[in-house]
Structure 1
Amino acid sequence: MPTLDPGQLAIREMQEDEEQMILELLKDGFKDTENRLILYVLTRPLALLLLAVVSSGLRFLLNSFVAALLGPVLLCLLALKLLLRRSPDLGGLWAYYRSGRRGLWVAVYDGDDVCGCVALEPRLQGVPRTAELRRLAVSRWYRRSGVGRRLLAFLEAQARAQGYERVVLYTAVVAKAAVSLFESSGYRPTGGRSWLGYIILQEFSKEL
């Protein structure tokens, strides 16, 4: 974990020539979360039981024990990857493609080292006026150094300046560092998305 000089860390709008760099940063963060979340889902007791039942059934139809064992697992992996990438709450990389560069800020250290990004998106319905935190990502080399906390505080300030009264966000339950950051910054769990009865995406909110 690098030791940062807070005075050397600035946050500004993303520049056009930084787009590919930010895209790679988002891709890295999404793949890391995606893989850990899939492992978490597949190792839940109910998921293991269902995979065992399906594998046992396939053994009567297939001559290969390996195919009967690995087939259901591979199909589940493919289905979960497709599901997560279509999720509006977790697929930050794909949301970035759809919305372009609007409302996206980057954290820059020592003048030119881009080390993180964050975006703010309005929720068109609901009272109080609510904004959603999207695409908060920090480069591997700068994690646990305060960059994420600075980006979060910056986004909240932007939301207040634009008249929003609340910020909501979704994060995977396996993203322990992110969950700890949000909880220590005053965010409280307000719901989530579940699979087979297990929460996989936790919703947090904070009144501004």
Structure 2
Amino acid sequence: MVKLELDQVVIRRMKEEDIEVVKALIKEGCEGTENRLILHILTRPFCLFILAVFSSVLRCLVHSFVLALAIPVFLLIVFLKITMPRSTGVLGSSKPYWDYVGSSYKGKQDETLQNLYCRISGKTPVTKKPRRRIGAKDRDKDMSAEKITPEREQAAGHVWLGDCEGEVLGCIFRESETRPGVRRICRVVTSCWYRREGLGRLLVQSLEQRERETGAHRVYAHVPYPSKLGEAFFKKLGYLQLGEENNEEDSDEINLETPERGFLGYPLTKVFYKDL
């Protein structure tokens, strides 16, 4: 665990040269999430019933009871492994995949969020040039050659990075605006070396501050279904789970803000909201 000075963190938009670093951070952050989601789906009653039916049919063809039981489970796990990875990285997005190139910032000067801790300490965070990985130059040339239309850039959403002395420590994904006054957080990830240091809270609160200033009145956050840590994190920040309180407003919002669903329509995310 590394001690992090939050007032020295710069929260800036992701650029094209940051894409590979962000993807690696997302991969690190969702380790185990895919397996937990698969286990969650496999243990649903209807899914167990379907597996039992297939096992009964196979029992007539296969003399081994163990094989008849294991084959349907194995095939379903393979199917889920193939179809699920595209969404486990950035769960909650209304699109099947995240447009990293389209959501990258194209300006020369960094677009930044206000660091709330700087107002307390009075310090100014220092911005350094991001560290580059070996072989990233060729990939940057390929990506920069891709043309980005204003429509694609607007629909891609934003990715904000927590940067300290040129090192990306965490990121937060905000989807493009689909409804006026409403924003959606799809993913919050921090590096394993900087967890429980308040970085995730800083990213969320700084983004909330910006969205409040731009006229948003409600923020939604999609949390992977088996993630108890993510659920506790957003509840601690004042978020409420959609549907827990039975009122007319919630029933209307449930129809508009639906969780991402996977095999047999089982939810992969829980939806939380906060009024700004």
TM-score where L is the length of structure 2: 0.64
Q: How does 1:159-178 map to 2 (within 5 A)?
A: 159-178=211-230
Partner of residue 90, structure 1: 91
Specify which of 174, 182, 193 is matched with residue 234 of structure 2.
182
Partner of residue 246, structure 2: none
Instruction: Mark the CA change 1:82 to 1:159 in structure 2 (over 3 Å): closer, same or farther.
Output: farther
- Structure 1: gaps (5+ residues): none
Deviates more, 1:46-55 or 1:36-45: 46-55
Instruction: Mark the CA change 1:87 to 1:113 in structure 2 (over 3 Å): closer, same or farther.
Output: closer
Q: Indicate conservation of the 8 Å contact 1:84/1:91, yes or no.
A: no
Residues 126-171 of structure 1: CA distance to partner in whole angstroms, max 9, x if unpaired? xx61011123211122222211111111111121122211111211
Instruction: Mark the CA change 1:99 to 1:70 in structure 2 (over 3 Å): closer, same or farther.
Output: farther
- For residues 160 and 16 of structure 1, the distance between their equivalents in structure 2, rounded to whole angstroms, comes to 27
Aligned length: 205
Deviation at 1:199, TM superposition (A): 5.0
Instruction: Mark the CA change 1:36 to 1:96 in structure 2 (over 3 Å): closer, same or farther.
Output: farther
Residues 68-92 of structure 1: CA distance to partner in whole angstroms, max 9, x if unpaired? 2222112222333455346597176
Partner of residue 106, structure 1: 161
> What is the aligned-residue identity percentage?
38
- For residues 181 and 87 of structure 2, the distance between their equivalents in structure 1, rounded to whole angstroms, comes to 23
* Aligned partner of residue 164 in structure 1, secondary structure: coil
Partner of residue 207, structure 1: 275
Does 2:7 correspond to 1:4?
A: no
Q: Indicate conservation of the 8 Å contact 2:16/2:101, yes or no.
A: no
**Amino acid paired to 2:50:** L
> Which one has more relative contact order, counting CA pairs under 8 Å at least 6 apart?
2
Greater strand share, 1 or 2?
A: 1
- For residues 30 and 96 of structure 1, the distance between their equivalents in structure 2, rounded to whole angstroms, comes to 18
How well do the aligned residues superpose, as a CA RMSD in angstroms? 2.9
Deviation at 1:183, TM superposition (A): 0.6
Partner of residue 24, structure 2: 24
* Aligned partner of residue 32 in structure 2, secondary structure: helix
**Amino acid paired to 2:91:** L
* Aligned partner of residue 204 in structure 1, secondary structure: strand
- For residues 164 and 204 of structure 1, the distance between their equivalents in structure 2, rounded to whole angstroms, comes to 16
Partner of residue 174, structure 2: 120
Partner of residue 132, structure 1: 184
* Aligned partner of residue 20 in structure 1, secondary structure: helix
Instruction: Mark the CA change 1:123 to 1:8 in structure 2 (over 3 Å): closer, same or farther.
Output: closer
